[in-house]
A and B are shown apart, each in its own frame.
Chain A
């Protein structure tokens, strides 16, 4: 038996269950997160139209720069105010 040391961060992947998928979006609050990539807003504008047509309430969010993770406050705000989030990774 040979032993080696684990080179990883030793973070057993947190086994968190996905929340059940909502039956529909009517009456739900959907957050649209623009990561500040060029023309991401074009995709999100169209998505907002389609979602509102389905009766969803749409909230818009924007990261200050695509090069960095979303600030903690922004993530918190999205988590508190939305039931569903769509993130645009457009270019």
Chain B
């Protein structure tokens, strides 16, 4: 709207300072809009549109307007400032010299997202109107936007609130998401983070996870399309994990923590909705695994025998690592008290990833619990030492691996020429530390087709 030339003010009747300056405004003949009482002055701004457009933060706000444009502004009551702006002296006889104003309703935290959505959000996503009698949760199912569980309806207000979790431009392209190879903006990630149930402070981690999962070496298209079980597993490192309340302790790989649950889910919903990767279509998994709803946890860095996983992979601080994981296989060893014995247990269990006779085909992520970790910490074993030991233990005689050996047709083709083969390719075994204080258990998360012909783990910095 075009502002009238001259003096323009925005007030709120609930504000004592506004009440105080009422006679001054009337005396000046200012054009006054009121935020909470349409009958107080001639101008009605109960919609708060004018206040929002003028970016009014405090009432009263007095403006000088020339040629429809604002040329000067004062907030609150200050006799000298009002006199200077209006060019009229002797204002407000009997009023105090200064009086601070009150907060504008247009910056009320409960209203600001709705105002932004209504008057100027600048969001680029297509609007979908729901009919009055349409249940908003059923509408999301009907449109194919969910993973089978209910989602939070992505209203413009919620998406704007979500975008406050990052300083990145909503229009910035985060990644090109397979299988449809759609450029995905920060805003689209935010829409799906709302669907997933994220808080705004989770968004930077979701953005990093999307970026990592869409890196070429992660091979997300193939990971999605495969008949195999796997899907992206997100491991988060750094202080951000504690700041946003992620779980790295009791039940770290399980349910019950909002950040863990919704960050992993948001990534999967981006793949589903933005990339177009849906089960039964491009996703051809024979059985799948429940981690394809969400699989995200924080590494337990405190008390860990290992440096943070991401730091060891070259990205210190806040970071995510994505791994093409296929589910959790328990490792029980309640008796080993020296690292050599425990490493042999780990090796025996790791050998069975995919099949005990298949090697060099699948990566693995070994999640060491605190009680197992204590054994390595006490002996001074870091990650490199443990991995080196496991690589040695998992160098396997070819005679045990070839097709037919052990009465099993499955196995490695004969004629490789080698006497021994390693279970994992170099760099194909990841080790992380997580879990509750009690329990002499660890976990093997088996991978998928690995390396350059398949998926390699990817680590990316979390940027706020």
- Chain A contact residues, CB within 8 Å of chain B: 1-11, 64-69, 91
Contacts and interface: CB of A to CB of B under 8 A. Distances in A.
Contacts of B139: 4
B453 A5 contact: no
B43 interface: no
B454 A5 contact: no
Interface in B225-283: 226-227, 269, 273-276
Contacts of A69: 221-222
Contacts of A5: 123, 125-128, 154-156, 159, 191
The 8 lowest CB-CB distance pairs between A and B, nearest first, are: A9-B182, A67-B222, A6-B126, A5-B125, A65-B453, A67-B454, A7-B273, A7-B191
Nearest to B117: A3
A8 B454 contact: no
A4 B136 contact: yes
A55 to B, nearest CB: 34
30 contacts: A1-B130, A1-B131, A1-B132, A2-B136, A3-B127, A3-B129, A3-B155, A4-B128, A4-B140, A4-B154, A5-B156, A5-B159, A7-B154, A7-B192, A7-B195, A7-B273, A7-B274, A8-B274, A8-B276, A9-B182, A9-B188, A9-B274, A10-B125, A64-B453, A65-B449, A67-B453, A67-B454, A67-B455, A68-B222, A69-B221
Interface in B272-329: 273-276
B188 A7 contact: yes
Nearest to B127: A3
A2 B155 contact: yes
Contacts of A9: 177, 180, 182, 184, 188, 273-276
B376 interface: no
A15 to B, nearest CB: 15
Contacts of B424: none
A68 B156 contact: no
Contacts of A4: 127-128, 130, 136, 139-140, 153-156
B368 interface: no
Nearest to A69: B221
Contact of A11 (B128, B182, B195): B182
Nearest to B453: A65
A3 B128 CA distance: 6
B218 to A, nearest CB: 11
B145 interface: yes
Interface in B114-151: 123, 125-132, 136, 139-140, 145
A8 B123 CA distance: 14
A59 B192 CA distance: 44
B127 A67 contact: no
A69 B221 CA distance: 7
B318 to A, nearest CB: 26
A11 B221 contact: no
Of A4, A66, A69, chain B has the most CB atoms within 10 Å of the CB of A4
A8 B226 contact: no
A20 to B, nearest CB: 26
A64 B452 CA distance: 11
A10 B182 CA distance: 9
Contacts of A68: 219, 221-222, 453-454
B395 to A, nearest CB: 25
Contacts of B226: 67
A77 to B, nearest CB: 20
Nearest to B126: A6
Contacts of B177: 9
A53 B159 CA distance: 61
Contacts of A6: 125-128, 191
A42 to B, nearest CB: 16
Contacts of B273: 7-9
Given A6-B191, A9-B177, A9-B276, 6 more contacts: A4-B155, A9-B182, A9-B274, A11-B276, A65-B453, A66-B222
Nearest to A10: B126
B270 to A, nearest CB: 8
B188 to A, nearest CB: 7
B447 to A, nearest CB: 12
Contacts of B276: 8-9, 11
B180 A11 contact: yes
A40 B123 CA distance: 48
